[in-house]
Amino acid sequence: MLKKIALILISLCVILPSAFANGSTEGSSDDVFTWWDHYETFTDIVNSMLDEYSAESGREVEYTLSSPDKMSDSLLVAFRTDQMPDVMSLPFSDMTSVCTMFAEGWFQPLAVEFEDLPQVAKDAMFEGITMYDGEVYSVPIFSQSHTALFFYHPSMVSEAPTSWEELYNSCKQVYEESNGETYGLVLPMTFTKRMKETIEQLMDAAGEPVIDYSTGEYNYDSDAMMEFFYWMTRMWDEGLIHPSSVNFNMKQARERWAVGEAAYLIDGIYNVGITKKNFDPELSDIAVCEPVSANGQPYMIYKWPMVGGYYISKNCDNVEVATDMILSMIEDDIMLEMANVQDNPPVNTSVIADADVHETYLQSCDIFNRTIGLKPFPVAKNPDTEKVYAEMKTISPSPIEILNGYFSGAITDWEAALHEYNDKMIAERDRAIEKVRSNGYNVSLDDWVFPNFAYGESYTADKYQEL
């Protein structure tokens, strides 16, 4: 009897779920148009657009806003289970992830020809990032920006620092004048992806990018990196960095800075919009200065070409509507609204002049205009290098983890740890190159060598032709 019951139950368990699975609809439901987003400041803009579409078409719309971390998780699960939204923003900061996603068929092209796009969008588009095989897969909605801006409270800081030493002195003054109640700097140490990006940008500003483009070798133990570590560890030892930094994510660090627990915060330009929205509607105590690692010298921060703002997923069943919505994001009136919320500067920077924005926002835009250049992109030189990036495993501890280790008492010799990290990165890339080569792809260390790269100049598309 028991055997019979068990046999029947097992058979049904296998048959019934598969019957349900076969009957399920793939991807987005026909009745609901779904939009996943991580740009908090665009909530109203996107929602009004979706409401308008819903009223016209009678179709139900669903807008989901998530933090970048949560959205990354959701997208990975959605892709694996074939339940992607119709339109999505991409919270993955790593350019190579986008290349891998394209290769794996996450997206479908927009229903628009490149020639029909506005000039501002065309200028910001690159093959292999927003275009593939001449087809448009997304349009950048932002212009280039970086996350190495030093925001501070003018009520605490009389003069903006231009070097690590000046920053140290300023932090010390703030700490001493407040009798230890206010810290000099607060850092989002648990937001390792962002901190990694910021540290690399600080190295760019110091004139020593983390890749030496003349040899293709990694340069994570450069003099500039050592200087950064020296000042950070010194400030930590002297209690000038907020002691909770070790546990803070970006949101927490920004909150503590905004309420005046620390004088300085290293962040992106959107700090202005978020501070205005959540903490200080008048923006009465905010100012910005250039990355101190530049030591007051002319500098350049290198970025890869901009990824698109929004992509249409492979599951979208109404590409025309999705295309219209995405393209409407680069119309001037929407760009102006985007500038008004003081998030990342819109791709059409000319609208900023008409926007109602704070002086700090304008200053930040000016910094970007003067100091951002395109960095050499191995995938643009040889598309097969995308396979190498995908094969490379994460090496730990990374520079930000080493710093975190020092702050928490786990590491004392950060210098040795940085050398070790650099060596491991070189070895891991060599291993990945070998593995990818053994799979029949033509890749080598030379793909990371850009002999015509000159610090201070942008590595524009024409430079690839010279190689």
Partner 1 sequence: MKSSVSKNRNLAWVVIFLLPNTILYFMYTILPAILTAVYSLLDWNGFQSAGEFCGIQNYVELFNDDIFLTSLKVTFKFMLFAVPVRFLVSMLFGLLLNSRKCLFKSFFRTLLFLPVVTTGAIIGTIMIMIFDPSHGPVNIVLEGLGLIDKGKSLLGSYDTALYTSAIIWIWKWMGMSLIYWIASLQSIPDELYEAAKIDGASGFQSFMAITAPLLKPFAVIILLLTIGDSLRVFDILLTLTNGGPFYSTETIELFIYHTAFTDRIPRLGYASAAATIFALFFCVVAIVQSAFKKRGGE
284-287-288 Cα angle (round to 5): 160
Q: Is 66 in the site for partner 1 (CB under 8 A)?
A: no
- Report in angstroms how near the CB of residue 396 gets to partner 1 at its nearest: 6
Q: Is 3 in the site for partner 1 (CB under 8 A)?
A: no
Size of the site for partner 1 (CB under 8 A): 54
Q: Is 108 in the site for partner 1 (CB under 8 A)?
A: no
Neighbouring CB atoms inside 10 A of 44's CB total 10
Dihedral angle at the C-alpha atoms of 391, 394, 400, 405, nearest 10 degrees? Answer: -160
Residues 16-45 interacting with partner 1 (rule: CB under 8 A): 16-17
Q: Is 382 in the site for partner 1 (CB under 8 A)?
A: no
x/- contact string, 411-450, with partner 1 (CB under 8 A)? x---------------------------------------
* Structure-token pair, residue 284: 């009465």
Q: Which stretch, 283-291, 303-311, 351-359, 398-406, contacts partner 1 (CB under 8 A)?
A: 398-406
Alpha-carbon span 31 to 354, nearest angstrom: 39
By beta-carbon proximity to partner 1, the closer residue of 248 and 368 is 248
- Pairing state between β 60-65 and 32-37: parallel
- Pairing state between β 301-303 and 372-374: parallel
* Structure-token pair, residue 56: 């016209």
Neighbouring CB atoms inside 10 A of 5's CB total 9
Which long-range CB contacts under 8 A does 427-432 form with residues at least 24 apart? 428/392, 428/393, 428/395, 429/218, 429/388, 429/392, 432/388, 432/389, 432/391, 432/392, 432/393
| Of the residues 54, 64, 101, 381, which one makes contact with partner 1 according to CB under 8 A | 101
| Of the residues 29, 40, 63, 69, which one makes contact with partner 1 according to CB under 8 A | 69
Q: Is 80 in the site for partner 1 (CB under 8 A)?
A: yes
Alpha-carbon span 23 to 241, nearest angstrom: 57
Q: Is 118 in the site for partner 1 (CB under 8 A)?
A: no
Q: Is 178 in the site for partner 1 (CB under 8 A)?
A: no
Q: Is 189 in the site for partner 1 (CB under 8 A)?
A: yes
**Location of structure tokens 């530049």:** 294
Residues 217-256 interacting with partner 1 (rule: CB under 8 A): 239, 242-247, 249, 252
- Contact residues toward partner 1 (CB under 8 A) are 1, 4-5, 8-9, 12-14, 16-17, 69, 72-73, 76, 79-80, 94, 96-97, 100-101, 104-106, 180, 183, 189-190, 193, 239, 242-247, 249, 252, 261, 389-390, 392-394, 396-397, 401, 404-405, 407-411
